[in-house]
Chain A
Amino acid sequence: EIMLTQSPGTLSLSPGERATLSCRASQNVISNYLAWYQQKPGQAPRLLIYGASSRTTGIPDRFSGSGSGTDFTLTISRLEPEDFAVYYCHQYGSSPPYTFGQGTNLEIK
C-alpha cells in the first residue's frame, strides 16, 4: 500500500499570496497517477489536478501541479478568498487501495 504524506498540515496565508502544498509517496506512483482535490466544509471533494500536472476542465490556471515519482506539489499562484479549504492528494495508479493523503488545511491568516 502506498502511503501519502502531506505537508504542512495547516498553512496560514493571506489572499494574494502563493501557496505551496507538498505530497510525498512512500513508493513511486505508477504513471504519475496523482490527483489533487479541494474540499470545503459540507461539500464533496472537487478534482483539481490529475496525472500530477493536468488541470481539470474549469479549474483556474492559478492552480498548478508538478512532480513525479514520489514527490508532488500543488501550487496556487495567487490565493483568492474562495481557495481557502482542505486539499488532498490521491494516488490512483495500478492496484488498490487508492490512498489519500491526510490533507492540508489552507486557512486565512
Chain B
Amino acid sequence: EVQVVESGGGLVQPGGSLRLSCAVSGFTFSNYWMHWVRQAPGKGLVWVSRLNSDGSITNYADSVKGRFTISRDNAKNTVYLQMNSLRAEDTAVYYCARGGGLGTPRGFDYWGQGVLVTVSS
C-alpha cells in the first residue's frame, strides 16, 4: 500500500523558516518525480515545486523561487521542502504528491494528507 506522510508544519513568524518532510512507502521512491502543492484556506490548489527521481532537476513556481528549496533523500524515501523568508501569503496546507515514474505520466496519483503552515506574527 502506498503511503505519503507529510510533517513539519506549524506556526512561524514572517521572515522565518520551516522545513517540511514527506516520507513515502509502498513504491520504489527513487523512480518517481515528487511534487509539492499548496492550498490556502478556502482556496484552490497551486503547484509549488517538483524534483526528479535523482534530485538533479528542480523547478519552482515564481511565487516561491529563490525562497523555497526542494530536495530528496532516496535512502530515506523522503522529500523535503525548505521554506525561507516566509510571508503571510505562504499560509496554506502543503501537500506532497507523487508524479510521473518510468512510464507515461499519470498526473499526481498519490497525495499525503497535507500539513498546515501558518505564517503570522
Query: Using a CB–CB distance below 8 Å, which chain A residues touch chain B?
Result: 33, 35, 37, 39, 43-47, 50-51, 54, 56, 88, 90, 92, 95-103
Contact = CB atoms under 8 A, between A and B. Distances in A.
Contacts of A92: 99-100, 105, 107-108
Nearest to B58: A96
Nearest to B107: A35
Contacts of B59: 95-97
Nearest to B4: A44
B44 A51 contact: no
Nearest to A6: B44
Given A44-B114, A97-B61, A103 B107 contact: no
Contacts of A45: 45, 95, 108, 111
Interface residues of B, number: 23
The main secondary structure of chain A at its interface with chain B is loop
A54 B62 CA distance: 31
Given A37-B107, A95-B59, A96-B59, 9 more contacts: A33-B105, A35-B108, A37-B45, A44-B113, A54-B106, A88-B44, A96-B50, A97-B59, A98-B50
Nearest to B96: A44
A86 B70 CA distance: 28
Nearest to B61: A97
B109 interface: yes
Contacts of A96: 47, 50, 59, 61
A99 B48 CA distance: 10
Nearest to A54: B106
Contact of B44 (A35, A50, A100): A100
A73 B39 CA distance: 23
A71 B113 CA distance: 30
A11 to B, nearest CB: 16
13 contacts: A33-B105, A39-B45, A45-B111, A50-B105, A51-B106, A56-B106, A90-B107, A96-B59, A97-B47, A98-B47, A100-B44, A101-B44, A102-B44
